[in-house]
């Protein structure tokens, strides 16, 4: 409560994670807008290796002390950082990282990355670039956009060293450079076919709007889709015994929860596909419970008209 108002004055507008009045969907909209306004041709997708587990305690307190000199507050933060972690009956005391689940951890992480990454990008990276650039960050998940390839190469040469100074490492296996230039509206020559990249659970790609304009669209990332389906599958195995009405209620709760995040403009196909896959899983559960191997889909479709699944819905609309 004391630290947040102090740092909210300093945090930059492209930082969205764990801040009041800022959501992941606002970060996604900001990303879409910047791809248009900055004429982005390249996206640098950077992955930090175990950020929340590797934050250096000494450097964290040093960064906080630049803005907060109160001794009581410094000692309290030190106690938070050194708090034990209870896991499977054992207590451990990590010498680095922010405590997972600690109420202060999200804010401390934002303070750390504000100093290490955000200010560096604005004060050092952007002035050194010849073309237009942008960055959007949600907690430790961030991407950078560039108009010129030579500017990307400049950043690639120094970014690992920058993070290493603060005890952080880049996961080179998951860090990617993606061609993401806007395709020409009516075909013709371009710098190459745009690729795709993932950010905040969505795959971002260029597609056409209803008016025929090239727009940045997003769909549920394949990994997130599989994870959701696997979680529903495991739930079904453990709840075969429930009455169909109860199974229907629980499945619809899960589908509505999924739509609450992934129900964005342009993603209706993936939302509908999830319903189709869930219906197949439900059918297999009922076959197992009734010890039936009948592959007939028509009777089950009739059953779905009575025990229907919640229809796909767009919760977060955007102008395209």
Q: Would you place residue 81 in the very low, low, confident or very high pLDDT band (cuts 50, 70, 90)?
A: confident
CB atoms within 10 A of CB 236: 20
Q: Average pLDDT in the 273-299 region?
A: 80
How many residues are given for the chain?
320
Residues in CB range of 164: below 8 A, 6 or more apart: none
Residue 102, classified by CB atoms within 10 Å of its CB into exposed (0-12), middle (13-18) or buried (19+), is middle
pLDDT of residue 88 exceeding 80: no
Given pLDDT bands bounded at 50, 70 and 90, which one contains residue 251?
A: very high
Question: What are the phi and psi torsion angles at 201 (to 5°)?
Answer: 85, 5
pLDDT above 90: residue 105: no
| Model confidence band, residue 292 (pLDDT cutoffs 50, 70, 90) | low
**For residue 22, what pLDDT band results from cuts at 50, 70 and 90?**
very high
Is it the case that residue 186 has pLDDT exceeding 60? no
pLDDT at 190 over 60: no
Tell me the sheet residues that pair with 143: 45, 136
Residue 114 DSSP class: I
* Structural contact between residues 204 and 217, judged by C-beta atoms closer than 8 angstroms: yes
- Average pLDDT estimate for 301-312: 86
Model confidence at 309: pLDDT above 80 = yes
Distance of alpha carbon 26 from alpha carbon 106, whole angstroms: 18
Position 301 scores a pLDDT of 76
Under the banding of pLDDT at 50, 70 and 90, the label for residue 188 is low
Residue-level pLDDT at 267: 97
pLDDT of residue 79: 85
187 vs 192, more confident: 192
């Amino acid at each position: 409560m004391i630290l947040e108002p102090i740092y909210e004055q300093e945090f930059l507008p492209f930082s969205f994670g764990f801040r009041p009045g800022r959501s992941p969907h606002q970060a996604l909209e900001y990303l879409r807008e910047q791809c248009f306004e900055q004429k982005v041709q390249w996206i640098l997708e950077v992955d930090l290796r175990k950020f929340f587990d590797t934050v250096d305690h000494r450097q964290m307190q040093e960064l906080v002390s630049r803005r907060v000199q109160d001794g009581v507050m410094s000692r309290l933060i030190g106690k938070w950082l050194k708090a034990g972690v209870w896991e499977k009956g054992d207590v451990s005391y990590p010498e680095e990282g922010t405590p997972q689940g600690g109420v202060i951890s999200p804010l401390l992480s934002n303070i750390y990355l504000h100093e290490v990454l955000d200010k560096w990008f604005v004060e050092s990276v952007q002035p050194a670039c010849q073309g237009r650039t942008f960055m959007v960050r949600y907690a430790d998940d961030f991407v950078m956009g560039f108009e010129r390839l030579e500017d990307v190469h400049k950043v690639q040469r120094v970014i690992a060293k920058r993070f290493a100074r603060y005890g952080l490492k880049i996961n080179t296996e998951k860090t990617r450079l993606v061609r993401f230039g806007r395709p020409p509206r009516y075909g013709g020559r371009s710098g190459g076919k745009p690729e795709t990249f993932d950010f905040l659970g969505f795959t971002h790609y260029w597609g056409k709007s209803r008016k025929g304009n090239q727009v940045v669209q997003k769909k549920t990332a394949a990994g997130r889709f599989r994870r959701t389906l696997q979680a529903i599958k495991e739930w079904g195995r453990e709840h075969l015994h429930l009455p169909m009405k109860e199974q229907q209620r629980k499945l619809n709760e899960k589908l509505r929860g999924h739509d609450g995040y992934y129900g964005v403009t342009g993603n209706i196909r993936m939302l509908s596909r999830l319903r189709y896959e869930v219906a197949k899983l439900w059918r297999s559960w009922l076959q197992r419970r009734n010890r039936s191997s009948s592959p007939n889909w028509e009777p089950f479709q009739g059953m779905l008209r009575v025990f229907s699944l919640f229809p796909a819905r767009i919760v977060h609309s955007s102008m395209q």
